[in-house]
Chains A and B, each alone.
Chain A
Amino acid sequence: MIPLEEPQLAAHLARRSIKGTEAQQIVRSKRLADEIRSRIGAEAQARHRFGGAAASWLSVLRSGVRVQATLGALLVIAALAWTGLLSGGGPRHPGPGDSSPGQSPATASSIGASSPSITADTVQVLTEKQLEEVVGGSGATADIGRVVIADVQILLTPSQCSASACATEYSILGTANGRVIGVDVGELDFSLARAPFALRIVAPFAVQLIAQVGSPSSSGVSMTVAEYRTEILNQRLQPTPERTVPIAFVVDAWLETQVSTRACPLIATIPPLLTDFTCGGWSWLTPAPFEWSEGLGSPPPGGLLVQNAAYADFASDPVIQASPPLAEPRRGLYLIAPAHTQGGTCSIDCEAPNAGSVLARVDPVELAPSPEPTALSSHAEMTLGAFRLSFDLPKTTWTSSESITGISRLEYLGSGPSAMSGSIGGPLGFELNELNGSRHLGVVYDDACSIKSIGKGFALTASLRKDGGYDADLPSASFYASFFADPQYRLPPGDWELTAWADFETDPQGCSGPEYKLKATIGIHVISATEMQTPLPSSADLAAGLTYYCGNGERFDIESLSGPANAEQSADPAVAPLRSLAPQLGLEPTHWWSVYRSTTAAEFLGRTSSGPYDYVVIELRGDGSWGLKGYGDCQMQYVETGLSTIAWSIDPANPPTPGTRELHVLARDLCPGTLARRLGKPVIRYGVDSILIALTASLAAPGGPGCGTGQTAAFTLQLDEPIGARTLIDGSIWPSRDARIVPPQLSGAGG
Chain B
Amino acid sequence: MERELVEGARQGDRAAFDALVRRKVDVVFRTSLAILGHEADAEDATQETFLLAWRKLPSLRDPDRFDAWLGRITVNASRLILRQRRGVREISTDGIETAGGHLPRGAAQFGDATADTDAFDRAFERLTVHERAVLVFHHRDELGLAEIADRLGIPVGTVKSRLHRARRALERAMTIEQPR
Contact = CB atoms under 8 A, between A and B. Distances in A.
Interface centre among A8, A13, A14, A194, by most chain B C-beta atoms within 10 angstroms, is A13
B25 A32 contact: yes
Given A17-B140, A33-B22, A2 B58 contact: no
Interface in A229-250: 236, 240, 242-243
Nearest to B55: A55
B111 to A, nearest CB: 9
Interface string A710-724: 000000000000000
Contacts of B139: 6, 9-10, 13
B13 A236 contact: no
A3 B44 contact: no
Most buried by B among A2, A43, A473: A2
A236 B8 CA distance: 11
Contacts, number: 145
B168 A1 contact: yes
A1 B120 CA distance: 13
A653 to B, nearest CB: 46
A124 B158 CA distance: 53
Contacts of B26: 25, 29
Interface in A534-568: none
Interface stretch (B32-40, B68-76, B144-152): B32-40
B7 A16 contact: no
B81 to A, nearest CB: 10
A527 to B, nearest CB: 34
Contacts of B170: 4, 9
Contact of A2 (B15, B43, B174): B174
A471 interface: yes
A273 interface: no
Contacts of A9: 135, 139, 167, 170
B120 A12 contact: yes
Given A9-B135, A36-B21, A471-B47, A2 B110 contact: yes
Contact of B124 (A16, A43, A54, A55): A16
Which residue, of B16, B25, B44, B110, has the highest number of chain A Cβ atoms within 10 A? Answer: B25
A268 interface: no
A290 B8 CA distance: 39
A122 B21 CA distance: 35
Nearest to B102: A1
B101 A1 contact: yes
Nearest to B24: A33
Interface in A29-45: 29, 32-33, 35-37, 39-41, 43-44
Nearest to A13: B140
A5 B121 CA distance: 16
B138 to A, nearest CB: 9
A192 B19 CA distance: 12
A187 B31 CA distance: 42
B140 A33 contact: no
A161 interface: no
Contacts of A44: 14
B47 A2 contact: no
Interface size class of B (residues with CB under 8 A): 35 or more
A60 B168 CA distance: 49
A62 B8 contact: yes
Contacts of A43: 51
A471 B51 CA distance: 13
Contacts of A17: 30-31, 33-34, 140
A19 interface: yes
Given A16-B121, A40-B54, A62-B8, A32 B43 contact: yes
B75 to A, nearest CB: 14
B51 A39 contact: yes
Contact of A243 (B11, B34, B140): B11
Given A4-B167, A16-B121, A471-B47, A58 B172 contact: no
B11 A240 contact: yes
A312 to B, nearest CB: 33
Given A2-B103, A16-B124, A62 B15 contact: yes
Contact of B47 (A19, A36, A58, A62): A36
B33 A193 contact: no
A40 B14 contact: yes
Contacts of B42: 19
Contacts of B47: 32, 35-36, 39, 471
A15 B117 contact: yes
Contacts of B21: 33, 36-37
B161 interface: no
Nearest to A1: B171
A54 B54 CA distance: 12
Given A4-B170, A13-B140, A60 B8 contact: yes
Interface in B125-165: 135-136, 139-140
A126 to B, nearest CB: 19
Given A10-B140, A191-B13, A32 B46 contact: yes
A18 interface: yes
Contact of A16 (B33, B51, B110): B33
A211 to B, nearest CB: 14
B98 A1 contact: yes
A3 B34 contact: no
A59 interface: yes
B113 to A, nearest CB: 12
Contact of B12 (A6, A25, A59, A471): A59
A193 B12 CA distance: 12
Contacts of B14: 37, 40-41, 44, 59, 191, 193-195
Contacts of A28: 29, 43
A470 to B, nearest CB: 11
Contacts of A15: 117
Given A2-B171, A3-B110, A4-B171, A60 B11 contact: yes
A130 B140 CA distance: 52
Interface in A457-513: 471-473
B78 interface: no
Contacts of A60: 8, 11-13
Interface in A580-594: none
A5 B8 CA distance: 44
A473 B30 CA distance: 21
B97 to A, nearest CB: 9
A57 interface: yes
B29 A4 contact: no
Given A59-B13, A473-B44, A36 B50 contact: yes
B30 to A, nearest CB: 4
Contacts of B56: 55
Interface in A334-392: none
Given A39-B51, A471-B47, A16 B34 contact: yes
A36 B12 CA distance: 15
Interface string A184-196: 0000000111110
A723 B153 CA distance: 77
Contacts of B40: 472
Contact of A193 (B15, B31, B172): B15
B37 A57 contact: no
Interface of B: 4, 7-8, 11-18, 21-22, 25-26, 29-31, 33-34, 37, 39-40, 42-44, 46-47, 50-51, 54-58, 98, 101, 103, 107, 109-110, 117, 120-121, 124, 135-136, 139-140, 167-168, 170-172, 174-175, 178
Given A16-B37, A32-B29, 7 more contacts: A10-B139, A12-B117, A12-B121, A13-B136, A33-B22, A36-B21, A36-B46
Q: Which 5 A-B pairs have the closest CB atoms?
A: A191-B15, A58-B12, A13-B140, A17-B30, A2-B174
Interface of A: 1-6, 8-10, 12-19, 25, 28-29, 32-33, 35-37, 39-41, 43-44, 54-55, 57-60, 62, 191-195, 214, 236, 240, 242-243, 447, 471-473
11 contacts: A2-B103, A4-B170, A10-B139, A13-B139, A25-B26, A33-B25, A36-B46, A40-B17, A60-B13, A191-B16, A236-B58
